[in-house]
Amino acid sequence: MAELSYREAVARGIAQEMRRDPMLVMLGEDIAGAGGVFKTTVGLLDEFGPSRIRDTPISEQAILGAAMGAAMTGVPVIAEIMFSDFIAVCFDILANEMAKSRYMTGGQMTVPVVVRTHNGGGSRFGAQHSQSVENWCMMIPGLKVVAPSNPADVVGLMAAAIRDPDPVVFFEHKSLLATKGEVPEGELFQALGEAKVVREGSDCTIVALALMVPRAIEAAERLADDGVSAEVIDLRSLVPLDTKTIMSSVEKTGRLYTVEENPRLCGWGAEIASLVGEEAFWNLDGPVIRISTPHIPLPSAENLEDLTIPSVDRIYETIKRSMD
């Protein structure tokens, strides 16, 4: 067991799979010579060489297009989109092309691409470099969506995403990159679609993703001091969605909170609230409550950004108030 940072875990996960599959290649802006602007690909060029780790121009459509084309012909590809906001620039390739090609060709086409991207706020970068856009991808049939919250999951889920025969969008959270955690030795693999109960509790369920997971855990610890026993679920992937873990937790606790970094409207918590409303309504002892970023572009000033993204305080206070 070694302690790794989240950003080191990204490189370790990629390296694990590149050793395992000699055909696997990666491309993106500044990923090779510079080791990534977030240093998530440090060391990969040295180990795997410039024909497997390739720098590209600032051409996001060309990056995802090349990834898709190579993948269609049996070469699995990891493509990095530097900031998840830039997915908007190449959303056509993601949403109209790679997501649909198996379905609309009657199953002829297979596109094993992982689109890695740096997601989320907390860096004071302003509205075009800070968004949480996991819900943009969740709504597209044909895309799998993964967002790990800790280094061990980064490695295991990276392996599963890369080995998946379908396109996967892999969100690495910018504000988690420097965080550390224990990562077991050896080859790791964590199947997609398995949420994890990261803290057991009996009074309410908090469903969270990525950066919101450690915040939900901290809020749950404070709630415990007030006598509220909160269960925290780390979703880990939005598609596939582990509804069983959510439903069985709600059956036990009777209360559900979602903690989302994406803006409110059509955020992933809405889908979970709707599912629980439809299928577990009689298990609920109160309304499902969504704690999310408001429906605004993210402001850049420190105090404003902290005000808008769900904080430990806001999670704690919202739950405390509504559980009383």
Partner 1 sequence: MSTKPFNDSAADDPTLLDYATRPVRPPVALDPAMDEADIPSDVRMELYERQQVLRQFEKRAYDLFMQNLVKGTSHLSLGMEAVSAGFGQAMQPDDYVFATYRGHAHTLSKGAPLGPVMAELLGRENGILQGKGGSMHLTSVEHNMMGSYAIIGAHLCIANGTAWSAQIRGTDQVTVAFFGDGATNIGAFHEALNFAVIWNLPIVFVCENNLYMEYTPSDLITAVEHPAADRASAYGLERIIVDGNDADAVYLSAQTALTKARRGAGPSLIEAVTYRHGGHSRADPGKYRPADEVEAWLDHDPIPIYHQRLLRLGVPEGDLATIQQSVAGRIDEATEFAKAGLPPDPALAMTDLWADGGSAWRN
Binding site for partner 1 (CB under 8 A): 23, 25, 51, 56-57, 59, 61-62, 64-75, 77, 92-93, 96-97, 101-110, 141-142, 164-166, 193, 239-244, 275
Choice between 208 and 309, CB closer to partner 1: 208
From the CB of 264, what's the least distance to partner 1, in Å?
22
From the CB of 305, what's the least distance to partner 1, in Å?
31
Take residue 55 and report the two structure tokens written for it.
């720098």
Sign of CA dihedral 230, 266, 283, 289: positive
**Among 243, 239, 208, 230, which residue's Cα sits nearest to residue 319?**
230
Question: What's the DSSP call for residue 187?
Answer: -
Identify residue 6 by its one-letter amino acid code: Y
**Among 277, 262, 256, which residue's Cα sits nearest to residue 212?**
262
From the CB of 249, what's the least distance to partner 1, in Å?
14
Choice between 42 and 247, CB closer to partner 1: 247
Take residue 290 and report the two structure tokens written for it.
């969504």
Choice between 241 and 288, CB closer to partner 1: 241
The contacts found for 219-224 with CB under 8 angstroms, 24 or more apart, are 219/312, 219/315, 219/316, 219/319, 222/312, 222/316, 223/316, 223/319, 223/320, 223/323
Choice between 57 and 227, CB closer to partner 1: 57
> What is the rounded CA–CA span in Å between residue 261 and residue 104?
33
295 carries an active-site annotation: no
> What is the rounded CA–CA span in Å between residue 28 and residue 285?
48
Choice between 73 and 303, CB closer to partner 1: 73
From the CB of 191, what's the least distance to partner 1, in Å?
11
From the CB of 162, what's the least distance to partner 1, in Å?
14
Cβ of 294: how many Cβ atoms within 10 Å?
12
Quote the distance between the C-alpha of residue 164 and its chain's center.
Answer: 16
Choice between 68 and 291, CB closer to partner 1: 68
Which among 118, 129, 173, 295 is annotated as catalytic?
129
Sheet holding 168-173, edge to edge: 53-55, 25-28, 77-83, 113-119, 168-173, 144-146, 237-239
From the CB of 25, what's the least distance to partner 1, in Å?
7
Looking at the DSSP assignment, which residues form a beta bridge with residue 170?
116, 146
Catalytic residues: 129
